[in-house]
């Protein structure tokens, strides 16, 4: 059984100084434990991305949007399959 994750991408200000605030908001909402720490990455210039369980994606996006992050996107991520056909 595979667990499907969502990749959440948050657009930051021009110098990226808002990045710590993303995780502060998630901590205050009780959602920081849902973030896969080893999956944190800068996905594009001025944006941070992280993975969360798919069933928690809506709560994470809502918490960020309600706290002033206007550009929050989420993408469904399917686990890669290493087996060849």
Is 48 a domain residue?
yes
β-strands 41-44, 72-77: how paired? unpaired
Is 82 a domain residue?
no
What pLDDT was estimated at residue 78?
74
CATH code, domain with 73 = 3.30.70.260
Domain limits for position 70: 5-77
pLDDT, tens only, 29-69: 999 888 876 566 666 778 888 989 999 999 999 999 999 99
- pLDDT exceeds 50 at position 1: no
Is 30 a domain residue?
yes
* Strand arrangement, sheet containing 5-11: 41-44, 47-53, 5-11, 72-77
If one counts the domains in the chain, the total is 1
The answer to whether 40 and 8 have CB atoms below 8 angstroms apart is no
């Amino acid at each position: 059984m595979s667990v499907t994750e969502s990749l959440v991408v948050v657009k930051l200000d021009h110098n990226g100084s808002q990045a710590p605030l993303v995780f502060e908001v998630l901590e205050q909402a009780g959602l920081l434990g849902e973030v896969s720490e080893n999956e944190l990455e800068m996905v594009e210039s001025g944006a941070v991305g992280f993975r969360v369980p798919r069933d928690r994606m809506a709560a994470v996006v809502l918490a960020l949007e309600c706290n002033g992050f206007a550009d929050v996107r989420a993408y469904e991520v399917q686990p890669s399959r290493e087996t060849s056909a």
